Amino acid sequence: MGIVNVTPDSFSDGGRWMDPAAAADQAERLVAEGADVIDLGAESTRPGASPVGAEEELARLVPAIREIRRRCPGLPISADTRKREVARAAVEAGADILNDVQGGAEPDARWPSLAPVAAELGCPWILMHNRAGPHGEDLWGEVLADLRGAVARAEAAGVPRRQLWLDPGFGFGKTPEENLELVGRLERLAALGLPVLLGTSRKSTLGKVLGEPDPARRLPGDAACAAWGIGRGAAMIRVHDVAGLAPVARMADALRRGRAWRAG
């Protein structure tokens, strides 16, 4: 999953792809480098970012989706949003997947769950864990309980289990040590039986481990997380650096498959 942010303030690439043509150029570039899915976000979720109203998010997101869909008719597009009206409009404009950093939760009345939209549209829905710490001694107990609850609420709202993906929420409400624990034992999440998306790309935990303040220079950390995560059950990785990480993903997947691997 290659990342294209149509935002002015994302931590790594904010402001670079605001124009729909520029976003589509970047999407085509990432596909040529090996991306299978393009994830479009129009509201920054970096720590401290200001929320964006639905009207502004739609104005950024929908034209980019339409332009990418025009140029790449068969390309799966993911819309990274937590708002119902934006999710519905994104799919109507050509998106195929809903990537929900709220994970189906309803922290307050401003953010109702996307469950009714996902049920109505029948599209894949990625549920990310996003609960602020501290998490106490049992991080995994809390993460797994929260995500089981998210899946149960989705199914109760009419979303079939086959539509659901899970994301451990690396970098969302967790300490660096907790982030490392999530990747290190990702098989615990994969054991729930749903496909897992892992998104560690360029995040601050990598910078702390590597001593690298520049997000664009954290590729070695991204590669290690990708290889380790795929080996422990990740079905897809969400990345900025597709050219650098697509070969890592292919090799890690081949190692995981072992003698079951087949060329092509």
Place of tokens 């119902």: 84
From 254, 247, 255, select the one nearest 34 (Cα to Cα): 247
Contact 157, 115 (CB under 8 A): yes
* Cα 68 to the center of its chain, rounded Å: 18
DSSP code, position 50? P
Q: How many CB atoms lie within 10 A of CB 126?
A: 28
Which candidate in 238, 256, 257, 262 is catalytic?
A: 238
Instruction: Write down the catalytic residue from 203, 218, 232, 256.
Output: 203
Contact (CB, 8 A) for 194 and 166: yes
Residue 208 catalytic? no
Close Cβ partners of 244 (under 8 Å, ≥ 6 residues apart):
219, 222, 223
Residues assigned a catalytic role: 203, 238
